[in-house]
Each structure stands twice: as structure tokens, then as C-alpha cells.
Structure 1
Amino acid sequence: MNFIDNQAIYLQIADKVCENILTQKWVNGERIPPVREIAVNMEVNPNTANRAYDFLQSYGIIFNKRGIGYFVADDGYEKAVAYRKKQFIEEEVPQFLKTMKLVGVTCTELENYYQTLK
């Protein structure tokens, strides 16, 4: 996986796990790959992958069954949506709006473009 420099690697891994949940590659109640497998696949230290899982567990998106592994929570999809929505609004929208202002894109232009995408 190609990581970006301005965000912690464990958060990028957490985002990838959320993406798998949001695209329903992994569904509520389903076992997800073990920490070691994620670490190998993403070419990171297992501690980094574990930190990503701990982070997602703190949001209630995934949970750990001791001795069995990690699972998507029963409401994991909904919690992943809420987490990503909050992240989008707090981190990406401000930069987007700043760029809009810098290049002179109006809300009307944006709305018109949005309508063409539907």
C-alpha cells in the first residue's frame, strides 16, 4: 500500500479497513483478517496494524473476541459511516472550501456540477 506522508500510517490502515466495511467487502458480524495478515499485506509492522484495529475498536466499528479474532461490529457499517462522515467534514471539507475560494468556484457552479454527476 502506498502511504501518504501527512497522515499517521495506522490511520491510513484504519481508513482502508473502513473502506472495506463501507463497500461491504466485510459485513456486520463477519470476521476480518487478523492483525498479522493485515500487517503483511500492507507491509507494516504488526504493532502498527494492531494500533489501527485498536483505534477502530475504540469507535465500536470492530470488536475482538479473545482467541478468535476481530469482527465487524453488528452496527459496524453504521459506525463506519458516522466515523468517515465526521472525518470528511472536519478534515477534507475545510481544505476543499479553501481551494474553492482560492480558484473562485462559486456554490452555484459546484451545485451545477454536482447535478451533472447524478
Structure 2
Amino acid sequence: MEFRENQAIYLQIAEYVCEQLLLKLWAPGGKIISIRDLAILMEVNPNTVQRAYDFLQQREIIANKRGVGYFVEDSAIEKVIGFRKEQFIETELPVLFRNMYLLNLPPDDIAERYKKFIEQNFNNTNHEK
């Protein structure tokens, strides 16, 4: 996985887990990939994945069943959506708006590109809009 330099790796791993939930690849109540296996997949130290899982546990998105593994909390989707919306609105949306203003990009142009993006990238998923 290619990591961004401006954000801690454990937070990017937590985002990856959240995306798996939002894309409905991992279901509420279901077991998720082990720390060791995710570390291998992400090519990071298992301690980094542990930190991401701790972060997600604190937000009640996943839970550890000792000796069995990590599981998705039943209310995880709602919590992920709430957390990600807040994060997007506070950090990413102001940058987008600033660039739209500076580049004189009308919202209609952005809306059309957004629609095409969804069609090209998520047309075959069951994700609700």
C-alpha cells in the first residue's frame, strides 16, 4: 500500500478498515483480518496495525474477543460514517471549496464529475448514495 506522508500510517490503516466496512466488504458482527495478516498485507510492522486497531476500538468500531480475534461492532457503520463525515467536513471540504473558488470552478462542474466518478468506480456495488 502507498501511504501518504501527511498522515500517520496507523490512521491510514484505520481508514482502510473503515473503507472495507463502508464498501460492505466486512460486515457488522463479522470477524476481521488479524493484526499479523493485515501487517503483511500493508507491509508494515504489526505494532502499527495494533495501534490502528486500538484507535478503532476506542471509537467502538471494532472489538477484541480475547483469543478469538477482532470483530466489527454492530453499530460500526453508523460510527464510521459519523467519524468520516466530521473528518471530511473539517479538513477536506475547506480545501476543496478554496480550490473551487481560486480556480473559478462552478459547483455544477464538480457535481457532473462526481456523478461520472460514482458511475465509473462504484456502479457495481450495493453502496447506498
TM-score, reference length from structure 1: 0.90
Quick one: distance in 2 between partners of 1:6 and 1:51?
18
Deviation of 1:91 (Å): 1.4
Deviation of 1:111 (Å): 3.7
Q: Counterpart in 2 of 1:91?
A: 91
SS at match of 2:87: helix
Equivalenced residues, count? 115
Spell out, residue by residue over 1:34-92, the C-alpha distance to the aligned partner (whole angstroms, 9 max, x if none): 11111011000001000000111111111111111110001111111111111111111
Q: Counterpart in 1 of 2:67?
A: 67
Long gaps (5+) in structure 1: none
Quick one: distance in 1 between partners of 2:8 and 2:100?
26
SS at match of 1:64: strand
Quick one: distance in 2 between partners of 1:32 and 1:46?
15
Quick one: distance in 1 between partners of 2:109 and 2:7?
32
AA aligned opposite 1:102: L
Task: Tell me: CA distance 1:3–1:112, structure 2 relative to 1, closer, same or farther (3 Å).
Answer: closer
Long gaps (5+) in structure 2: 117-129
CA RMSD of aligned residues (A): 1.5
Taking only the aligned residue pairs, the percentage that are identical comes to 50
Q: Which moved more, 1:67-76 or 1:93-102?
A: 93-102
- Are 1:40 and 2:40 matched, yes or no? yes
- Are 1:15 and 2:15 matched, yes or no? yes
Q: Which moved more, 1:96-105 or 1:11-20?
A: 96-105
Q: Counterpart in 1 of 2:121?
A: none
TM-score, reference length from structure 2: 0.83
- Which residue, 98, 110, 114 being the options, matches 2:111? 114
